[in-house]
Structure 1
C-alpha cells in the first residue's frame, strides 16, 4: 500500500513514470546456521519481494508511457558465495524475475533491463576486507576484476543503458564477456570458497551473522520493517 501511495504521488506531481529502477538492497554476512531467520527473510523481502513490489506499484505508469523497468542484479547471481546465502539467493531471484517480466511485458511495449553490478563503492562493501570469504574471492580475481568502481561511474553506465532501453547492462562493461562462462562460475567460486573457509577458526564460522553497511543496519534497526517498502542506498 505504501508503494502504491508513492506511485500515486509521483503521478500527481510529475505525471506517470516512464523509467523505474528497482535498486534497493541489503546484505547479511554469516553462515546460514548462524543467521537469524528474521534477518535472512528480511534480505529476501527487501531485495526480491521489494523489487517485485516496486514493479507492481509502477506497472500502471509504465503501461501508460510504454516505459522501461531496470532491475539491478549482481554478479552474486553468477556464483553463490557461502556466508552470503540470502543475498545471493535474492540476486539470482531478481534476475529470473526480471527475465520473466520482460517476456510478459514485451507485447505491451514496456521494456525490461537487467543490470549486473560487480564491486561498487557503496556503504554495503565498506567492510569488504573484514569478510573472509569475500576477501578471498576478490584476492583470487585479476587486478582489474577486483577494482571497486565509484558509484558515479556505475550510475553513468546505468543511465546510458536506460537511454538505449538495453536488455542488459554490465558494470563494469567487460562483465558481458563472462556471460558465456557462467556454467563454470559455481565451480570456481566453490573451489576458492572452500579454501577460504578451511582457514577460518570454529569461532569465526560460528559467529552470528551481521548486516553489511549503514543502509542495511538502518533498515534492520527500523521499528517498521514493511517488506513492501524497502528504503536503502544503491548497492551491489
Structure 2
C-alpha cells in the first residue's frame, strides 16, 4: 500500500531566489564605481540586519539598505548623495523573475501546493515587487518580517510564519538561494530546498538541505515527484 505524504507549505524567499537582482547589482557597482560594490554592500546589509536583531533596535530593510550603502561608499572613500542612493535602491521594486520561476510556481500550484513568501523586505516593497513581477496571485500569503520586526535567519521569524499558516515548522519547506536563510530555517525545524543561483553556495556548517537544484522549476519537479 502506498502512503500518501502530506504536502508541506512552501515558503519562498524573494530576492535572488525568485527575482533577478542583476539590474540592482549593476546600478550599485556603477554608483560605487567598484565591480565588487554590490557584494560588499549586500554583505553589510545582512550583517547590520542581524545587528538590529541582536540589539533589539528595529529599522526596516529599506532604511538599513540605504544606511549601509552610504557606509559602503564611505569605506571606499566614494562620495554619493542620499538622492542617488534612494534612486538606486528603488530599482529593487521593479525586479523581474528568473526565466524558470513562473513555470515552477505554476507547476506547484497545479499540484495543489500551498505557496507563501517570507522575506526581509518591508511589506510595501514586497507588495510592489510581487505586483510588478506578476507573482502576486501565486501566493496564499505574502509574509514580510516587517510584522514581527525580526530579520531572518532569527528562529523567531520562521516560527512566526508557521504560526501564521497554522502548521508546525516541520510541515513547512523553505526555498531559498541563500545559505544563511537555509541554515536559519533548518535550525527552526523547517525542511529546506537550496536554489543554486550563480554566485550562491550552501553553508556547509549547517544541516544539509533536503533538496538542491539550479532553479525553481527543477525544485518544483522534484517536489511534485516526491509528493505525487
Same fold (TM over 0.5): no
Give the structure, 1 or 2, with the largest relative contact order (CA under 8 Å, sep 6 or more): 1
By percentage of residues, which structure has more helix? Answer: 1
